[in-house]
Amino acid sequence: MRRTISVRLVSAFAALVRLPNALMAAAGVILGAWWVGGGISGSVFAAAFAAMALTAAANAWNDAADIEIDRIAHPERPLPSGQLSRSTANTFASCSAVIAVVFSLIAQPYLAVFSLILLVPVRFYSPHIKRLGLPGNLTVALIASLPFVYGAWAAGRPRAGLVLLAIAAPLHLARELAKDLDDVTGDAGVRRTLPVRIGARGTRVMLVMAVLVFGATIVPLGLSVPLLAAALAPTFLLCAFAIRRALLGREGSPRLLKAAMLCAMVAFVVAKV
């Protein structure tokens, strides 16, 4: 019985922090360091742990702030389902934030300062910034793309990571817009997200534009690295499927866009080998 409770608790925390997202953040750090020509050192692994902790903090704070909305949009999540309390989520988020700063300090002192500054929008995203609509979507897209910069920074070449940031941010923005489309029922009357403000049709147009910007930023790099262009084929295919589902008003585009991100990361690895 005790073992069953422990497994359920671990599963609840894994769901709270979106463990796959946290692992993708860590992978983004390692990819960022590798892409800019840095070795996979202890500093890079420390930065990867910092990115995981930041992701955990962001998601835990998000769920604590959105518990009432999630009772409608995502009743299976740990807080609305009663597996974890709001106070537990907030405490866990605060501990994760401290861990993120500590590991950032181990990786690179200036990275710790950056993480401290970054925690401000991370902490206030759900209560305040997310309610702004598109500016909130842009904020989370940039934050979600930062693991590549963390990796480049840990490798000693932070500016070189900005190229990957510029490529990743539009795809993250498209996913955030797709998530808002899927959550519009729960958000209505509570939060002024973009679909609530301008409607589903206008948001779908913005989603398509974000994917097109992603394509426009990555195509020049693909032309200079032919193997990368070939390896990106699954990414573009998944993006096309995601756009189709969104335009048809069907749910599921966020999952397809997350898969597209993962395929893009694999493509960069294949092109670099």
The residues near 64 (Cβ < 8 Å, ≥ 6 apart) are: 79, 86, 89, 90, 93, 126
At CA 129, angle to CA 250 and CA 254, rounded to 5?
20
The mean pLDDT value of the chain amounts to 90
Asked if residue 134 has pLDDT above 70, the reply is yes
The residues near 111 (Cβ < 8 Å, ≥ 6 apart) are: 47, 50, 104, 105, 150, 153, 154
pLDDT per residue as tens digits for the range 43-101: 999 999 999 999 999 999 999 988 888 888 788 999 999 999 999 999 999 999 999 99
* Residue 32: band (very low, low, confident or very high) from pLDDT cuts 50, 70, 90: very high
Please, what CATH class does the domain formed by 2-272 belong to?
mainly alpha
Query: What does the domain layout of the chain look like in residue ranges?
Result: 2-272
pLDDT per residue as tens digits for the range 147-158: 999 999 999 999
Is 203 in contact with 177 (CB distance < 8 Å)? yes
Asked if residue 2 has pLDDT above 80, the reply is no
Region 28-53 average pLDDT: 93
Asked if residue 133 has pLDDT above 90, the reply is no
Region 106-118 average pLDDT: 95
pTM: 0.90
